[in-house]
Structure 1
Amino acid sequence: METLVKIISWVFPDFHFQWLVDESKKNIPQELDFVQEGKNAEKISKAFRHYDWLKVPTIRWDLTTKRVLTMEYIEGGQVNDLKYIKENKINPYEVTEKLGTLYSEMIFLNGFVHSDPHPGNILVKKSDKGGVNVILLDHGLYATLTNELRVSYAKLWLSILNRDRKGMRMYSDKLGIQGDLYGLFACMVAGRSWDSILQGLEGRAKDLNGERRTMQTALPKFLPQISGILENVNRQMLLILKTNDLIRGIEHTLGTHTRNGAFRIMCYYCIRSIYSQKLYYCHTKIQRLKVSVAEKWLLLKLKVYYFFVYLGNWCNILVSLGKRPALM
């Protein structure tokens, strides 16, 4: 593989793929070590035990070796199996909200991120209480994020959501992307066009299908720049970008990709990530109290803001219904 990449780089000097070789060398041995996978499963199960809807199969250590992994069998349907979801009366919006909550907490707070969330590794099942359980499989590949990266990434996301170009440039730089490429990097992180970011992601949620086609058409023009970004970005970000794309793919399949709730969840965990770092550097009770109050006040404002967004959406729906011509 490394030889092939060197040949491609020689033929196409504008394209950089050494990062792919480096990541493969690092990740493949991890994914083939089943003892480590079992330990990862137990670690994530313990870290998120406060979510009773998250199910991680129990490892049978007496039947597990580095080459054989034995675990509990849990029934469920793949997260992208629309037929299964419909037949079992599972709410797809509940599925994506729980996935958003789980992965936001992993990335922004916990720092231990399941990095292979393709549909085959995430099952869903109707719970006895009527909600939905999320079953997380395949724990071979995890990203362990530093506190500095978590907070920089959180600040980058808040800058994107706030249309703060100065902040986007600053925190892209902290993640390894320098100069004017910060805009393209922000698009890669958000999975949205630059125009959408500047106009506000929430306000353009309904235009995603057309926007996706436009981005796919424009993609070939930016391949050398994208290749350069992937070569230079903080290595921990590579798995985050991969995880983002897989989660977005699941949302698109379920038809929930236009929801604004994703931004609400992300904002919540970004704020908590930033203020958890501030608390860490507090040396007195007064300092900790001030930071805690500031965090709670900001989270309260966030709730109020999204309450009015929700209220406004319903008002728009009612107005549009009122404008429809009478059927009789």
Structure 2
Amino acid sequence: MLEAVRRTWLPEAEQAIHLPLGFGAHHWRIDGPEGPTLFATLDRPSPTRSAGSFTAAYLGARELRAGGLPGVLAPCAGAEGRVTIRLDGALLSVTPWREGRTPTEAEAGGAGHAQRVSALLDGLHEARAPEVLRPWAARVSPGLAARLEERTGSAWTTGPMGETARALLRGAAPRIREIEVRYRELVALESTRAHRRVPTHGEPHHANQLLTADDELLLVDWETLALAPLERDLAALSSKLRDARGADPAMSELFDLEWTLSEVEEYMRWFSAPHMGTEDDEIALQGLRDELN
């Protein structure tokens, strides 16, 4: 990984230190001659997030930042202007290293902080959309409920938590089918409202926020940037702020349901595949319980 960073972004990089941050991706601090310089991320494309969508989103974030939009910690462009490179079947990208911290969930829910996030989202939603930006597409392909019932019909024996997860999902199958029917209705409704789409971050919750040492508030992890109804971002705000923004209830429901269904599908893949019972597996199992509740 360090050699890839040297070839593409920072020839003088001296070391890469793995950071146990986030969930689902891998991260490193890249040190140069004068200390921490870059933050490297290795993302694995999936059926719902192609390599092309990552690259388009990162290029869009760079364009928004270059246009003066505040709060954007955009990826760096390296050799030949590339913002991502292939590495071991995944995508490597880097952003400038910024000293800071992630706000806690409780802190992010405070009125003052939420107002700051709302102001950043206002700017993003009002910004001119970069031409490279792709439109949002439904993250859940049709037939999830049927796939769920089929996959949970036999034992999951590839890891210690498989059967627990299978039982949870099997019991929720009827409700998942109902949710999916409503989700498809809302996806069809959104397709008639393409004129309402604006640049959206996609996941501006507290875990994708950074408070720098000088108290600047930044949004990170721009791989989900896409043209979509602004309600896609408003789940990160309180109901009071959502109402103040004039959120469309139907579009708010669409993205609430999409989150639930996409999480269910991800956990179905996770626990039906080989796993070892690691700390990440424990977190994922609790996440599954939370979603189904």
TM-score by shorter chain over 0.5:
no
Q: Give the number of the structure whose alpha-carbon radius of gyration is greater.
A: 1
Question: What TM-score does the superposition give when structure 1 sets the normalisation length?
Answer: 0.30
More helix by share: 1
Question: What TM-score does the superposition give when structure 2 sets the normalisation length?
Answer: 0.33
